[in-house]
């Protein structure tokens, strides 16, 4: 019995020794794995830190820095073509003026442009968009209403009629009044001499993003035709290779005065709001613009278009551009042409296969009228 008990005791001791060995082995392996995991994590963190250190955060390029924008009135009569400097503007507004013509207001920020023009006179509703961009406002003359509003709103303006020939000058390769030009350097120098601030903390009107916006659920828009009037019809044709739209007016390609390069834009915004003819003796024949309120429109980029709402609450407040769900639209980092046209303008968008989509509030109204008359 005594020998048997000894064997049992030895067996128990052997089991305990084996169990202890297993536990110790597990602990050693576990500690090794933990150390290896920690080393891998530290290595990954180090590698990520190295990679992150080499990557700079993306920044919007088209609207960057603290330079105050400069808005310049640009002649768009066919005798003024070609114009200079438009491709370097971050925004260009096109709005109807008297006689069915349109005029442009190009806005520059943080760029050097040696030749801008031809510069023409102010119309009062362009002042609204200069104010919402916090821009110094350059023009060559003004309508009576524009003169009144510039004084009323204390606009920091530079008028070619009263400024020196070192700020605005006339060139010989065009005839007056289509030959006045300027430069960003000349305008900044004149602005500083008048004590105007030349920096601005104001946010951009548009919600620019660095990631490409493709409007995948949008309407195909390989070309866009906008009739501001029977006289002035503009067209944008999408260049897939460069991902920009080339601009045409009165069936002619628009080019830069100096370089001969095509006038292009990354983004197009269309706002439908009515113009009307002023009847007072001083402004007779000139136009007014009903641009306070919420209006239908389109945002177009990269060959696609979506319907949007454009809201402006006061003359100096920034316009809000939202999709039909009420979200602020994201805009590609590039220049933008804002075409403000009458509500009955028949904007045409064309597919590659020449199937046409007609988007016109006027057509929609006529269809509703026909249905109502015939009780369809």
Residue 43 domain-assigned (yes or no): no
* Alpha-carbon span 144 to 123, nearest angstrom: 9
Query: What is the pLDDT, as a whole number, of residue 285?
Result: 86
Query: What is the pLDDT, as a whole number, of residue 56?
Result: 61
The pTM for the full model equals 0.81
Between 2 and 373, residue with greater pLDDT: 373
Q: How would residue 337 be classed by pLDDT, with cut points 50, 70 and 90?
A: very high
Region 178-206 average pLDDT? 98
* Alpha-carbon span 225 to 341, nearest angstrom: 12
pLDDT per residue over 75-97, tens digit each? 999 999 999 999 999 999 999 99
CATH code, 287: 3.50.90.10
Q: State the total domains in the chain.
A: 1
Residue 28 domain-assigned (yes or no): no
Residue 29 domain-assigned (yes or no): no
DSSP per residue, 177-237: TS-EEB-HHHHHHHHHHTT---B--PPPSS-EESSPP--TTSEE-SEEEEESSSS-EEEEE
Region 48-62 average pLDDT? 65
pLDDT per residue over 295-330, tens digit each? 999 999 999 999 999 999 999 999 999 999 999 999
Residue 322 domain-assigned (yes or no): yes
Query: What is the pLDDT, as a whole number, of residue 69?
Result: 98
Residue 295 domain-assigned (yes or no): yes
Q: Which domain holds residue 353?
A: 58-376
Residue 73 domain-assigned (yes or no): yes
Residue 17 domain-assigned (yes or no): no
Residue 281 domain-assigned (yes or no): yes
């Amino acid at each position: 019995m005594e020998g048997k008990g000894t064997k049992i005791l030895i067996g128990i001791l052997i089991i305990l020794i084996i169990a202890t060995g297993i536990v110790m082995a597990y602990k050693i392996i576990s500690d090794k794995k933990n150390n290896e995991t920690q080393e891998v994590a530290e290595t990954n963190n180090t590698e990520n830190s190295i990679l992150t250190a080499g990557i700079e955060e993306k920044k919007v390029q088209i609207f960057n820095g603290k330079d105050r924008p400069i808005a310049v009135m640009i002649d768009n009569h066919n005798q003024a073509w070609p114009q200079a400097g438009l491709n370097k503007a971050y925004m260009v507004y096109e709005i109807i003026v008297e006689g069915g013509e349109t005029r442009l207001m190009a806005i520059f920020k943080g760029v050097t442009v040696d030749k801008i023009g031809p510069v023409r006179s102010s119309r009062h509703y362009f002042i609204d968009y200069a104010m919402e961009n916090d821009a110094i406002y350059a023009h060559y003359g003004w309508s009576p209403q524009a003169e009144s509003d510039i004084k009323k709103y204390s606009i920091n303006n530079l008028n070619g009629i009263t400024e020196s020939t070192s700020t605005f000058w006339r060139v010989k390769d065009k005839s007056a009044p289509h030959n006045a030009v300027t430069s960003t350097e000349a305008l900044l120098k004149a602005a500083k001499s008048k004590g105007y601030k030349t920096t601005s903390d104001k946010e951009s009107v548009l919600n620019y993003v660095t990631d490409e916006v493709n409007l995948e659920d949008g309407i195909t828009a390989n070309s866009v035709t906008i009739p501001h009037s029977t006289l002035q019809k503009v067209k944008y044709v999408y260049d897939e290779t460069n991902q920009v739209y080339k601009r045409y007016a009165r069936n002619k390609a628009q080019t830069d005065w100096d370089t001969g390069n095509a006038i292009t834009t990354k983004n197009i915004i269309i706002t439908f709001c009515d113009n009307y003819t002023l009847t007072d003796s001083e402004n007779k024949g000139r136009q007014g613009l009903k641009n306070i309120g919420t209006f239908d429109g389109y945002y177009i980029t990269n060959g696609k278009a979506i319907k949007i709402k454009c809201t402006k609450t006061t003359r100096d407040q920034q316009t809000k551009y939202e999709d039909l769900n009420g979200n602020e639209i994201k805009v590609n980092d590039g220049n933008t042409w804002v075409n403000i046209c009458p509500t009955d303008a028949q904007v045409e968008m064309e597919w590659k296969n020449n199937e046409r989509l007609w988007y016109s509030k006027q057509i929609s109204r006529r269809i509703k009228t026909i249905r109502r008359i015939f009780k369809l």
